[in-house]
């Protein structure tokens, strides 16, 4: 193992360099403060590794994404969402018997306790579904207090299955509540994505015929979102979990982190941006001129990524699926055309080239969701359904490998000590 030397005030210190299986290197500064009194300051954790993990590998320079060693392109072409969930959480691809068993046990947990109806009834119809999903996921802990012991493997296992099984039901109920339609019970013989589509779009008066092409496209989107190593929401799940909070509470925190427009909320922001451009009747180039004007505070949503500085491999796969879905549904392609125009102009523009800004996973996903009939408010909810296995895999890995409570430090910049002034004298 090699070391890094750090010279502080003339004194030389050595810190071990840790090397990952793909050759990534990091300086282990775990003893920095104890030996020097100094901390590292790294706003936004741009250079900070918070853990070692064997789940997902990303090479942002080369546009590589692999789950447990398998390329995302291959998983997208050959696998299914539940198989990928198994891979992420358990570490290996399942045999047919293992996958059947996994699928069956998830399928028998899809129903929500009937008392959840009262719970949903308390939310205003106008509530954002991400708020409803975060609250309902957290509320699972109130309905299943029998499975919250982190040290009991079987209880963590049942929580995992309940979450995977119930999140589509929770999500579809959030939508049904917002439009005042009756909840549709899950049908356990249907596939994961098909069942979700039915719960979203069927009513007791009218069945919804699930188009297998659309169900497949949705399954693919779930696969592409399933994990992305230490992103904001996954780091949140790990951080909350590090206090030994239960899995439901940790996942609920992840849902809340995902809601933000700089993270999972970007796919909603992309559609809103495209609709605005369309309604204003401006060209893609004119919009990009606004984006480049820093005073405007506008960003090209769906562009740029903290890690990918080349291209986001998920965006390429989604772009093709987007074309297929629109063709299948015989739908107008005006938003897709506009998105492609923006992409083309941006990729030639020095502002985006110099900053290495490329389309990310969210640039095209919203167009598919919209074509399928998913309302804009629900886009991020679908992202959370996709990301769930990744969150669970990280939470489980952390508990298996051992951890300390996450507790960053700070450099204090406030007032130095001063005396309290009574209110009458201020």
> Out of 71, 306, 316, 323, which residue is the one contacting ligand ACO (CB under 6 A)?
306
Burial 198-216 (b: 16+ CB within 10 A, else e): bbbbbeeeeeeebeeebbb
Nearer to ligand ACO, 254 or 304 (CB): 304
Question: Is residue 301 at the binding interface for ligand ACO, with CB under 6 A as the rule?
Answer: yes
Residue closest to 259 by CA, chosen among 249, 250, 269: 269
Identify the active-site residue in 219, 227, 349, 362: 362
CB of 376 to ligand ACO, least distance (A): 15
Residues between 26 and 85 that touch ligand ACO (CB under 6 A): 44
Question: Is residue 305 at the binding interface for ligand ACO, with CB under 6 A as the rule?
Answer: yes
Question: Is residue 304 at the binding interface for ligand ACO, with CB under 6 A as the rule?
Answer: yes
Nearer to ligand ACO, 245 or 382 (CB): 382
Count residues binding ligand ACO (CB under 6 A): 18
Nearer to ligand ACO, 362 or 397 (CB): 362
Question: Is residue 288 at the binding interface for ligand ACO, with CB under 6 A as the rule?
Answer: no
Identify the active-site residue in 128, 177, 228, 305: 305
Cβ(383)–Cβ(264) under 8 Å?
Answer: yes
151 has catalytic annotation: no
Angle between helices 247-259 and 379-401 (to 10 degrees): 140
Question: Is residue 302 at the binding interface for ligand ACO, with CB under 6 A as the rule?
Answer: yes
Which residues face 8 on adjacent strands? 11
- Residue 50 CA to residue 65 CA, distance in Å, equals 19
Cβ(365)–Cβ(267) under 8 Å?
Answer: yes
φ and ψ at residue 217, rounded to 5 degrees: -65, -40
Nearer to ligand ACO, 303 or 364 (CB): 303
Residue closest to 190 by CA, chosen among 179, 176, 201, 174: 201
CB of 103 to ligand ACO, least distance (A): 27
Q: Which stretch binds ligand ACO (CB under 6 A): 153-161, 234-242, 262-270, 414-422?
A: 262-270
Question: Is residue 300 at the binding interface for ligand ACO, with CB under 6 A as the rule?
Answer: yes
- Could you tell me how far CA 384 lies from the centroid of its own chain? 6
> Out of 132, 357, 367, 392, which residue is the one contacting ligand ACO (CB under 6 A)?
357
> Out of 355, 373, 400, 409, which residue is the one contacting ligand ACO (CB under 6 A)?
355
> Out of 109, 290, 299, 309, which residue is the one contacting ligand ACO (CB under 6 A)?
299
DSSP 325: H
Residue nearest to ligand ACO (CB): 304
- Could you tell me how far CA 180 lies from the centroid of its own chain? 28
- Residue 56 CA to residue 58 CA, distance in Å, equals 7
Give ∠ CA 234-342-301 in degrees, rounded to 5. 30
Which residues are CB-neighbours of 103 under 8 A, at least 6 positions away? 82
305 has catalytic annotation: yes
Q: Write out the catalytic residue numbers.
A: 305, 362
């Amino acid at each position: 193992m090699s070391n890094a030397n750090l010279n502080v005030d003339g004194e030389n210190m050595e810190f071990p360099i840790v090397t990952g299986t793909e050759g990534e290197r990091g300086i282990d500064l775990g003893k920095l403060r104890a030996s020097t009194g100094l901390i590292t300051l790294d706003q936004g954790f741009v250079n900070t590794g918070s853990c070692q993990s064997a789940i997902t590998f990303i090479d942002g320079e080369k546009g590589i994404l692999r789950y447990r060693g398998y390329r995302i392109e291959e998983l997208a072409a050959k696998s299914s969402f539940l198989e990928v969930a198994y891979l992420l959480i358990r570490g290996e691809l399942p045999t047919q018997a293992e996958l059947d068993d996994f699928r069956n046990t998830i399928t028998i947990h899809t129903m929500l306790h009937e008392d959840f109806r009262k719970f949903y009834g308390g939310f205003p119809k106008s509530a954002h579904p991400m708020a409803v999903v975060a609250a309902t996921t957290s509320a699972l802990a109130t309905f299943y207090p029998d499975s919250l012991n982190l040290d009991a493997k079987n209880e963590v296992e049942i929580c995992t299955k309940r979450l995977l099984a119930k999140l589509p039901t929770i999500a579809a109920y959030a939508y049904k509540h917002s439009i005042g339609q009756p909840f549709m019970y899950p049908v356990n013989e249907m596939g994961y994505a098909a069942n979700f589509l039915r719960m979203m779009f069927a009513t007791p008066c009218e069945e919804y015929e699930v188009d297998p092409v659309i169900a497949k496209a949705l399954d693919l989107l779930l696969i592409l979102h399933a994990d992305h190593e230490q992103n904001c929401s996954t780091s949140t799940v790990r951080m909350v979990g590090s206090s030994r909070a239960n899995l439901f509470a940790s996942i609920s925190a992840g849902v809340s982190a995902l809601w933000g427009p700089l993270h999972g909320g970007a796919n909603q922001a992309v559609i809103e941006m495209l609709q605005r451009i369309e309604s204003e009747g401006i060209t893609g180039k004119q919009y990009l001129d606004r984006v480049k004007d820093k005073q405007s505070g506008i960003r090209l949503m769906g562009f740029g990524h903290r890690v990918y500085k080349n291209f986001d491999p998920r965006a390429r796969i989604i772009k093709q699926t987007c074309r297929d879905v629109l063709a299948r549904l015989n739908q107008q392609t005006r938003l897709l055309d506009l998105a492609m125009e923006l992409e083309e102009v941006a990729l030639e523009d020095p502002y985006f080239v110099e900053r290495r800004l490329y389309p990310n996973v969210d640039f095209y996903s919203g167009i598919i969701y919209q074509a399928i009939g998913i309302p804009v408010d629900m886009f991020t909810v679908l992202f959370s359904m996709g990301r769930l296995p990744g969150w669970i895999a990280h939470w489980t890995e952390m508990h298996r490998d051992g951890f300390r409570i996450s507790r960053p430090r700070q450099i204090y910049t406030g007032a130095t000590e001063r005396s309290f002034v009574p209110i009458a004298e201020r």
